[in-house]
Chains A and B, each alone.
Chain A
Amino acid sequence: AQKITQTQPGMFVQEKEAVTLDCTYDTSDPSYGLFWYKQPSSGEMIFLIYQGSYDQQNATEGRYSLNFQKARKSANLVISASQLGDSAMYFCAMWHLGGGFKTIFGAGTRLFVKA
């Protein structure tokens, strides 16, 4: 069975510092994709970054980067230079080819950025 695990219910970071949010996944399918989404207190879901299982390099999108360690089955999100507006829930998600692109989500990590 496919599974996403986020073990940090809450994280604190000082403004302008970097923070890493952990995500581990479990799948036996060699073809899969990993996503990170942000959910501010207003409730909408915002796509941040994507990593495909065959991508050779770690994905980056502005201040967001994905530390993809395939052998360890981890896909941690790194936010550099944290801003107050980064305070939100962050969800890791995964689809796998054998599942018809059905996407499952982790339980999320709430990030608090301190001024």
Chain B
Amino acid sequence: QKEVEQNSGPLSVPEGAIASLNCTYSDRGSQSFFWYRQYSGKSPELIMSIYSNGDKEDGRFTAQLNKASQYVSLLIRDSQPSDSATYLCAVLSSNYQLIWGAGTKLIIKP
């Protein structure tokens, strides 16, 4: 059973601090990893993708991948109240299906 696991939270972070979100996956054949953001009552939207070990930065967001540890993380710097949402980790399996975690609810406190 291919799985993606995330801490459901909520994760509460003060405004301006760094939010750190984590995800582990079970399928060692996975090569592509994604972070989606979902606001309450809305549909998911893609915010980051990462394909190689190491860090990938895009503005205030940094995705980190460690394939040996089967671990993906998302860092949000200078957290803003508008970052409050559920963050979904998704992994593209070896048969090209997206496997989703349950999501981590992030709350940024002003």
- Are A and B bound to each other? no
B-to-A contact residues, CB < 8 Å: none
A-to-B contact residues, CB < 8 Å: none
